[in-house]
């Protein structure tokens, strides 16, 4: 159980996390979703006591991370797979972590086996591929058999096989009753991995709840209609106060389901060539909710020539 209340972090004048309150429940995978630069990593570092909140508080099972005894046995975290000395072997890396947590060395071989790195255990970690580094990081997170697990963008840069492995792994961990909190900027990934969502944009909480509710609330369903008598149908729909837009040789109707449109057409003897309900995509939902909170927006419809000085006042982010 992770509980954040009023969590805030300033870097100079930049506000990275802004009065963020949320909870992460046990036995579930909770996705931590937000565009790049939304403050996900900063929040995770504050949960783990690496960064000090400017104000607010975050606790794990009621305790601050820095007050935990042998913290790796309570919380396992993978924030960055590259937090390993490149000349140290995978086994040596896990052994010092185990020693620091008073865990037996036999546990090192167990977690190496769980993540499938036994064969390369004595190879230097600097030579690992991203997928192998990620597995080593997960092995480190699992070392203390913790109840709470945090992963920051674990599938970033992985091949499909690696992504699938991590996804299944998260489900297994949650099924074992652990608290799994995993961040991503990819909603499609979260939809397949998480049951609950905490969505942030520009450091502020946008949504907290289940994935299903998020999609249901945030997506707007439309129906694409094609007909040789499109003008008549348009008039009829407009008369009913339905909003619609022209889309090439079709119209896109929103706010009414396809059955109602079909019945209206039949009642007026209008031939339909297409009646196609469009289920709003997760990405659309995400963009709809976070669209105005994306910190760096690419202005695709503008010239690339130097902007006027007044337009360039956005502050530099923390590195």
Nearest CB to another protein, comparing residues 87 and 188: 87
Burial tier of 182 (Cβ tally within 10 Å: 0-12, 13-18, 19+) = buried
**Whole-number minimum distance, CB 110 to another protein, in Å?**
18
In contact, 225 and 251? CB cutoff 8 Å:
yes
Q: Which helix (H) or strand (E) covers residue 302, if one does?
A: none
**Whole-number minimum distance, CB 50 to another protein, in Å?**
4
Nearest CB to another protein, comparing residues 48 and 198: 48
Q: Which helix (H) or strand (E) covers residue 49, if one does?
A: none
DSSP per position, 233-268: HHHHHHHTT-EEEEETTEEEEESS-HHHHHHHHHHT
C-alpha 25/C-alpha 213 separation (Å) is 17
**Whole-number minimum distance, CB 193 to another protein, in Å?**
23
**Whole-number minimum distance, CB 92 to another protein, in Å?**
4
**Whole-number minimum distance, CB 294 to another protein, in Å?**
25
* Chain contacts with another protein (rule: CB under 8 A): 45, 48-52, 65-68, 71-72, 77, 79-80, 82-89, 92, 95-97, 99-102, 140
Nearest CB to another protein, comparing residues 101 and 118: 101
How many residues comprise the chain? 319
Nearest CB to another protein, comparing residues 108 and 199: 108
Nearest CB to another protein, comparing residues 58 and 289: 58
Nearest CB to another protein, comparing residues 51 and 109: 51
In contact, 130 and 158? CB cutoff 8 Å:
yes
In three-state secondary structure terms, 25 is: coil
Nearest CB to another protein, comparing residues 47 and 205: 47
**Whole-number minimum distance, CB 276 to another protein, in Å?**
51
Q: Give the tokens for residue 90.
A: 């995978």
C-alpha 152/C-alpha 140 separation (Å) is 14
Nearest CB to another protein, comparing residues 52 and 172: 52
Pairing of strands 196-201, 29-33: parallel
**Whole-number minimum distance, CB 35 to another protein, in Å?**
22
**Whole-number minimum distance, CB 33 to another protein, in Å?**
23
C-alpha 126/C-alpha 79 separation (Å) is 17
Q: Give the tokens for residue 295.
A: 């910190």
DSSP per position, 179-242: EEEEEES-HHHHHHH-SEEEEEETTEEEEEEEHHHHHHHH---EEEEE-TTHHHHHHHHHHTT-
């Amino acid at each position: 159980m992770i509980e954040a209340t009023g969590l805030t972090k300033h870097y100079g004048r930049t506000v990275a996390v802004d009065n963020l309150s949320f909870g992460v429940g046990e036995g579930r995978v909770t996705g931590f979703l937000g565009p790049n630069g939304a403050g996900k990593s900063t929040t995770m570092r504050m949960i783990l006591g690496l960064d000090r909140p400017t104000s607010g508080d975050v606790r794990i099972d009621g305790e601050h991370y820095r007050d935990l005894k042998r913290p790796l046995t309570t919380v396992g975290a993978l924030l960055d797979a590259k937090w390993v000395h490149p000349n140290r072997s995978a086994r040596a890396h896990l052994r010092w972590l185990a020693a620091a947590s008073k865990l037996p060395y036999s546990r090192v071989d167990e977690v190496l086996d769980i993540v499938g790195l036994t064969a390369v255990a004595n190879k230097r970690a600097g030579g690992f591929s991203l997928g192998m580094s990620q597995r080593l990081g997960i092995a480190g997170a699992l070392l203390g058999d913790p109840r709470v697990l945090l992963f920051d963008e674990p599938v970033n840069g992985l091949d499909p096989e690696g992504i699938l492995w991590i996804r299944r792994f998260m489900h297994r961990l949650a099924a074992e009753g652990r608290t799994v909190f995993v961040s991503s900027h990819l909603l499609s990934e979260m939809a397949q991995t998480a049951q609950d969502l905490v969505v942030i944009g520009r450091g502020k909480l946008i949504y907290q709840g289940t994935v299903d509710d998020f999609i249901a609330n945030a997506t707007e369903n439309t129906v694409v209609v094609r007909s040789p008598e499109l003008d008549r149908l348009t008039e009829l729909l407009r008369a009913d106060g339905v909003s619609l837009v022209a889309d090439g040789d079709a119209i896109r109707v929103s706010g009414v389901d396809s059955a109602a449109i079909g019945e209206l057409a039949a009642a007026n003897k209008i031939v339909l060539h297409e009646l196609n309900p469009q289920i709003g995509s997760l990405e659309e939902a995400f963009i709809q909710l976070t669209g105005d909170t994306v910190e760096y927006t690419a202005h695709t419809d503008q010239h690339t020539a130097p902007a006027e000085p007044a337009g360039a006042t956005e502050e530099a982010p923390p590195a």
